[in-house]
Amino acid sequence: MRFKQVYDYVWSQIERGERKAGEKLPSIRQVAAELGVNRLTVFKAYQHLKDDGKVDVKEKSGYFVASVNQPRLDSAFPDPISAPSAVSWKNKLSDIQRIPAVYQFSQAIIDPNLLPNLFLSDYVKQVFDIYPKLMGTYASAQGDEELREHLSRHMVRKHKFQLTASELLITSGAQQAIDLIARTFIRPMDAILVERPTYSAALDVFRAYGARFFAVDITPEGYDLEHVEQVMKQHRPRFFYMNPTFHNPTGYTVPPSQRKQLVELAERYRCLLIEDDAFNDMYYDQPPPPPLFSYDTEGWVVYIRSFCKYVAPGLRICAVMGRKPVIAPLVSAKSLADNGTPLVNQKIFLHYFESDRMQQHLKKLRIALQIRRDIMEEELRRAPGWEWLSLKGGLYLWIKLPDGFPVVAYFEESLRQNVSFIPGTICDPFDAIEDRIRLCFSLVNESQMREGVRRLVDIANRMQLESNLTNR
């Protein structure tokens, strides 16, 4: 049973007046038992009811029928569930990340204390001395030419890219790059190839533009290339959105041997590869293999390189690289989306990025993050039957839970105890991965890390115990 049916079931009770405004709804556990469905399915239905304003959530006490006195406006815009043609811009990842929690393992953000803040502030002041009219000047839609020149030279030097400044577009973060690519290349019902699991907010964007998903599993060994070829051959996807380096959420890296082959497949089947590379510099062992874009000769790879995560998150600077026929329509889309990323942000970023300080910062940051990762792993060893691969880059651990682990109840209890994480299901294009969670170790400091992970482990141990008792 899909969550939509549960949604309709609960909503019809409310609509028929069987459940009144303000009334407490049965718990997720009760509904799951009543309908004989997975609790995660009920959880999703309740979340949608909440998002649609039909149900309220009160912390620690459950779900309630929302007040019937909705503004008249509500009914003017058909509900996304009842009207499938309406555009539903739902961002499940950010919905979870917005839930306040002291021990934040859901947000892939680097602790601001690990960034060279004072140095950055000094830089900003210098930049305003260099460009006194910076605040009064608009940027072009494609981005500041000086920054594009600099970044293209940097990429040529570092990754041996074939690249000029005209093949580079500056966006406000990777999220905007993904959105611009989706709106430019997806038409409703187009096939799109994605990894399974993948970045949840990319799925939400593709879904909103009407994509049909085909997926290929990502494993520590990369993809099943035969499967990739079969999908490309049979379904002709418009593009393959991939995150082959320190992959989100798994941390896996696609091996060099597959990279060249993937570019060849892309050329053969005329399927763009959208290579999202946000963690390239965040390695703990050795630098990752060359990006797929460095193998591209025919223009079938688009390379998204965000600098938001670890350079200067507050500036939100990202670069999209690709050949002219791809970049040109993206520049037009960008000009309609926001007329160009603010020049202030681009100039500050440029001057910081080219400083020596930047490289020193990266070295220190890698060490600091590695220490946090080690602490997380150390504390997690007490968790009952949890498994994960120790990670060579990126900001997360992707944990396999024991079979049948009650992940929804676990998630709810963790939130109640002020700990948040990402349930694996939202990273799945088919909403079915229920035995995984993603824990991000970059935001909280070392002592919070120990306390937060201890809470997680304690809750898990207790639930495991209860579940064993019940099953006996």
Tell me which residues in 388-417 interact with a second copy (CB under 8 A).
none
Binding window for a second copy (CB under 8 A); candidates: 157-165, 199-207, 216-224, 428-436: 199-207
Query: How far apart are CB 310 and a second copy at their closest, in Å?
Result: 10
| Minimal distance, residue 449 CB to a second copy, in Å | 18
Smallest distance, a second copy to C-beta of residue 401, A:
28
Which residue stretch of 218-226, 318-326, 364-372, 400-408 sits at the interface with a second copy (rule: CB under 8 A)?
318-326
Query: Closest by alpha carbon to 303, among 321, 330, 290?
Result: 321
CA distances from 238 to 186, 193, 241 (A): 7, 8, 10
Q: What is the DSSP string of 416-455?
A: HTTEE-EEGGGG-TTS---SEEEEE-SSS-HHHHHHHHHH
Question: Does 357 engage in binding with a second copy (CB under 8 A)?
Answer: no
Within residues 112-141, the interface with a second copy by CB under 8 A covers 112-115, 117-118, 120-121, 124-125, 128-129, 132-138, 140-141
Rounded least distance, CB 52 to a second copy, Å: 10
Q: Among residue numbers 216 through 275, which ones bind a second copy (CB under 8 A)?
A: 270, 272
Q: Which is nearer to a second copy, 14 or 272 (CB)?
A: 272
140-179: contacts with a second copy (CB under 8 A):
140-141, 171-173, 175-176, 179
Compute the least distance from the CB of residue 344 to a second copy, in Å. Answer: 5
Strands of 135-285, DSSP E: 168-171, 191-196, 212-217, 239-242, 272-276
CB 380 within 8 A of CB 438: no
**CB of 313 within 8 A of CB of 110?**
yes
Burial class (CB in 10 A: 0-12, 13-18, 19+), 91: middle
Shortest reach from residue 321's CB to a second copy, in Å: 14
| Site for a second copy, residues 23 to 82, rule: CB under 8 A | 53, 70-74, 76-77
Q: Nearest approach, Cβ of 202 to a second copy (angstroms)?
A: 9
Q: Any bridge partners for residue 470, and if so which? A: none
Q: From the list 42, 65, 163, 205, which residue makes contact with a second copy (rule: CB under 8 A)?
A: 205
For tokens 């909403």, name the residue: 431
Rounded to the nearest whole angstrom, what is the least distance from the CB of residue 224 to a second copy in the complex? Answer: 25
Angle at 32 between CA 2 and CA 103, to 5 degrees: 90
Binding residue count for a second copy, defined by CB under 8 A: 83
Q: Give the binding range for a second copy (CB under 8 A) out of 34-42, 342-350, 429-437, 464-472.
A: 342-350
CA distance 31 to 41: 10
- Which 89-108 residues touch a second copy, going by CB under 8 A? 89-91, 94, 98
Our CB check for a second copy shows the closer of 88 and 370 to be 88
Which token pair is 402? 């024991």
Verify binding: residue 183, a second copy, rule CB under 8 A.
Answer: yes
Coil, helix or strand for 24?
strand
Among 232, 312, 319, 440, binds a second copy (CB under 8 A): 312
Q: Quick one: how far is CA 217 from the chain centroid?
A: 17
Q: Residue 203 class from Cβ within 10 Å (0-12 exposed, 13-18 middle, 19+ buried)?
A: buried
Half-sphere exposure of 165 (CA within 13 A, CB side): 11
Q: Which of 105, 279, 300, 388 binds a second copy (CB under 8 A)?
A: 300
